[in-house]
A and B are shown apart, each in its own frame.
Chain A
Amino acid sequence: MTLTWSPLGDSALVLNLNDPGVEAQRQLHWLAGQLAGKAELLEAVPGMGNLTLLLKAPGADLDALAGHCLALWEKRPAQSHSGKLHLLPVRYKGPDLHLVAEYTGLTEEEVIARHSGTTYEVAFVGFMPGFAYLTGMDRRLAVPRRAEPRVQVPAGAVGIAGSQTGIYPRQSPGGWQIIGYMEQPLFDVTREPPALIQPGDQIRFEVRHD
């Protein structure tokens, strides 16, 4: 597994892994943590098997920065997990639960058991404030997106799209199949950091019946 890099304009660069897996993603989060506080760096943004580094101002030596990152990468620990585990209560009463059951050939109870019976890992946060990209969903639960996206999906909606699952941090249009809802706000501008779920964290959904 090798880490390569390329410039992204004159004020950013992208580090890329050629063969990412769960452990490599954890090591990228470790690298992002190591780079936090580096003087010329504004931030390190994890993607899926990649890390984008943004400079505070254009003009710094990207080659030197990349060299520093590649040297750090060589020192990465074999086991590097340091994320937080969140237990998120979900009411599995979404309007598409029956559809997911029908499509997958499972009962609604089996869909709920499989969705809540997994520990998910946050690959990265993006798309909208507080939106976490989760890995680790049971493959049996994969379903296509809705043919026609809903105009409004409420905040806290838990959905499935293809082999991905996730939670809408705020009300928005959306095409994911909604299987449940959670109440805890995912993004709060008064919180530090504002996103409840951070890159590298782990998540378990707990079934709530009330």
Chain B
Amino acid sequence: MIEVLKGGILATIQDGGRPGLRNQGVPVSGAMDSLALQAANLLLQKPPLAPAIEITFGQTQLRFQKSGWVALTGADLGASFDNEPVTPGWRFHVEPGQVLHFRQPKKGFRAYLAVSGELEVPQVLGSASTDISSGFNAPLATGDELGWRPEGDFQAPLFVRVPGTGRLRVLPGPEYESFDQEAKTLFWHNDWTIGSLSNRMGYRLNGPKLTRLVGDELPSHGVIPGTIQVPGNGQPIVLAMDAQATGGYPKLGVIIAADLWQLGQLGPGRRLGFIPVTMAEARLAWQQQQAYLKHLEEFVAAH
């Protein structure tokens, strides 16, 4: 069992989400930083998209009631393990009564804690992910007890590094050409600030106003996490993992699949920038990321 001593700002269970149900109106959800989730699970030789705890911003406090192995990845949220600092990237052993305490972000925004064996959490439509707006599962609350069945043993703690965040690589969206030249230039060359009304559904960006050549209303269409929409006020919204399945705002661009995880490490008040890429570059980036995960899996197996 894992005892939630403090729920914190927002801690939820996340896995690979609920892909394939958008035509039922169901958001995909799942880990905001899927790369960190996969790294945490691979450190424990588990399926990469198995459920883990996503800790947003910090304040969360967990007490382990069993002996087993855990892995911490993603943001550095000032975590300490029995009062010793622990940085992301580590797999380590826990004993009954030991406490993992997250304070506040030093780097990044969301940390992931995976546990060896099984986390006993309810599945809704094939996923343990919490989706607050759809009402599927709830965030961790102070006093919650998470069922845990540890399995497997490792010889020693292990550390892996994950890629750092940078400018987000973007492919032009279907309505890209409907924006005027100045808007396009501003979009690529300005650093945007993530607004305070940002969450797992979407990030509202603050910056110069982007205008379109045509002001037509679009009929509703499917949208995906990473879609950069521009509503009438000219301020972009980047859709995140809990985004609704359909929307109607013009799509200026889409973050490439290999960079989507970076959104998870950005939060309100942070700045972000975009760079244009080609489809071929996007494909290569995806292949490189898959190769990195393969390498990580082999590294863990060899240690």
Judge whether B134 is part of the interface by a CB distance below 8 angstroms.
yes
Shortest distance from the beta carbon of B242 to any chain A beta carbon, whole Å? 11
**B125 — which chain A residues lie within 8 A by C-beta?**
189, 194
Range of interface residues on A (Cβ < 8 Å) = 35 or more
Are A6 and B174 within 8 A (Cβ)?
yes
Residues of B68-85 at the interface with A, using a CB-CB cut-off of 8 Å, are none
Identify which of B14-22, B39-47, B93-101 touches chain A.
B14-22
| Residue from the set A54, A62, A129, A169 with the largest chain B CB neighbour count within 10 Å | A129
Identify which of A42-50, A102-110, A146-154 touches chain B.
A42-50
**B258 — which chain A residues lie within 8 A by C-beta?**
58
Q: A59-B286, A59-B287, A126-B246 are in contact. Are A9 and B257 (CB under 8 A)?
A: yes
Shortest distance from the beta carbon of B178 to any chain A beta carbon, whole Å? 11
Judge whether B133 is part of the interface by a CB distance below 8 angstroms.
yes
Q: Which residue of A lies closest to B171 (CB)?
A: A9
- Bound together, the chains give a CA A209 to CA B26 distance in angstroms of 33
Are A52 and B171 within 8 A (Cβ)?
no
- Identify which of B19, B21, B256 contacts A10 (C-beta below 8 A): B256
For B9-30 the 0/1 string (1 means CB < 8 A from A) is 0000000000111111110000
For A41-72 the 0/1 string (1 means CB < 8 A from B) is 01111111111101001110010000000000
Judge whether B226 is part of the interface by a CB distance below 8 angstroms.
yes
| Residue from the set B133, B220, B256 with the largest chain A CB neighbour count within 10 Å | B220
For A1-40 the 0/1 string (1 means CB < 8 A from B) is 0000011111110101000100000000000100000000
Judge whether B244 is part of the interface by a CB distance below 8 angstroms.
yes
Are B279 and A62 within 8 A (Cβ)?
yes
- Identify which of A6, A10, A16 contacts B257 (C-beta below 8 A): A10
User: 7 A–B contact pairs at CB < 8 A?
Assistant: A8-B174, A9-B224, A9-B282, A45-B22, A58-B286, A126-B22, A170-B134
Q: Which 3 pairs between the two chains have the least Cβ-Cβ distance?
A: A52-B222, A126-B246, A9-B254
Enumerate chain B interface residues (CB-CB to A < 8 A): 19-26, 124-125, 133-136, 171, 173-174, 219-224, 226-227, 244-247, 251, 254-258, 279, 282-283, 286-287
